[in-house]
Amino acid sequence: MSGCEVFNKVILTDYLEVNRQELKRWLRNAEDSTLDWTPFLKHTCKLEGRKPSAWTEKAARLRSVVSDVLYVDVHIPQPLDPGALPPAGADCLVSCFCLEASSPDLAAFNRALGHMKVLLRSGGHLLLI
């Protein structure tokens, strides 16, 4: 959420179709969206030193910079479809418990990290939460 203040283009990814569809509904501000990100947006604003009421602006900014929601599988050598990212790679990748949750053991986790490397530009940043 804070990244939307720094980057003008954000691509969201998820392995599961149901999750990607729900993200797309939230991004469209669809009435049938079941995601309520309000508490997270308010908390993010608080951490950034903004008023909690700034969450609506944060939500609008986030919706404006997300350009796509794509399928990803970190357990294959090319996790995203070719052409999904700029040729040089992403400036920053963020993974929030995804590698840990999807990797059955340390070896799979390490392979997944290696697969993510192909997505990141030289000198880019990988943020694992």
Alpha-carbon span 127 to 3, nearest angstrom: 11
Per-residue pLDDT of 14-39, as tens digits, reads 999 999 999 999 999 888 888 889 99
- Per the document, the length of the chain is 129
Per-residue pLDDT of 67-96, as tens digits, reads 999 999 999 999 999 899 999 999 999 998
Tell me the CA distances in angstroms from 40 to 15, 17, 113, 121, one per residue in order: 22, 23, 27, 29
pTM of the model: 0.88
For a pLDDT cut of 90, what percent of the chain falls above it? 79
Q: Cα dihedral angle (56, 59, 60, 63), rounded to 10 degrees?
A: -170
- Please report, for the chain, the start and end positions of each structural domain, with discontinuous segments joined by +: 1-71, 74-129
